[in-house]
Structure 1
């Protein structure tokens, strides 16, 4: 990833987008992106407090245990890439972890492995 300072706070930016009619907010925490240390839960929570628009949290996932707290912090969905590209975590393991926390998951019954699990 990379970033270019805009001088606009991320929470303010998300609020502005929602006010302008955004259908969802893709919230990529650039400071967490690629770290595999977990999602930025404070940022997710702060954005959730100012928007009712669906929030998709991105940036920081490194283990299947990182996903449920992001939903619990207020994200409506979670997004990850590098953990799957480098096969550190399987999609099935993430779905199983979310299901263990009682969170809704598409196709959770199969807990399948692979590309479309």
Structure 2
């Protein structure tokens, strides 16, 4: 039986955790380190921090914040946003992150997945996929959901796994922040088609 893990995903903008609905209308909800400490104390198995504006703003992910998070919590955590090279990944892992997640850069340059996995191992690489249901298909987006691609969710997830992803983090843009539950049928299909863990 596969062990279930509780993994809160925290969207971060300017060092502050934010929440929105369908990737829009962001509002601040708390300090990134303090919320990580709270989730850790309340029994979370891992955390994911996503710098949601890094790619759109063309900057690197928050290494200084990663160092503070690493000092404040005692559970594994993944960091993503603005990672466009092996060097970017190395900087965050060196700062204390346990894993990195790539999204936009991996869609633009799929070989990046294998490059990071070759240096650090697949267990360090999470591929995040933000997708929206459009005319009967789940289509992948980049840049925080602001740009559509011609890549379809399931085929891209399979390719990401083949290229070395150790986990897939899927977010349905249609369900995000709505409190209407998860796209359970999509997660079930991903789980059936992939051999790596799928994070909701």
Question: What stretches of structure 1 of length at least 5 have no aligned partner?
Answer: 108-113
How many pairs does the alignment contain? Answer: 105
Identify the residue that residue 93 of structure 1 maps to in structure 2: 115
Task: Provide, for residues 87-117 of structure 1, a one-character-per-residue CA deviation record: whole Å limited to 9, x for no partner.
Answer: 2752222234xx2xxxx4138xxxxxx6312
User: When you count strand as a share of all residues, which structure comes out higher?
Assistant: 2
Give 5+ residue unaligned stretches, structure 2.
1-22, 124-158, 164-200
The answer to whether the Cα contact below 8 Å between 1:36 and 1:63 also exists between their aligned partners in 2 is no
CA 1:17–1:64: 2 relative to 1, 3 Å = same
- TM-score, with normalisation over the residues of structure 2? 0.46
Structure whose CA Rg is larger: 2
Matching residue of 1:71:
93
Single out whichever of 35-44 and 69-78 deviates more from structure 2. Answer: 35-44
Alignment of structure 1 residues 49-60 onto 2, 5 Å: 49-60=71-82
Q: Distance in 1 between matches of 2:42 and 2:115?
A: 37
Aligned to 1:6: 28
The answer to whether the 8 A contact 1:37-1:60 is kept is yes
Equivalent position to 2:83, from 61, 68, 81: 61
Per the normalisation by structure 1, the TM-score is 0.75
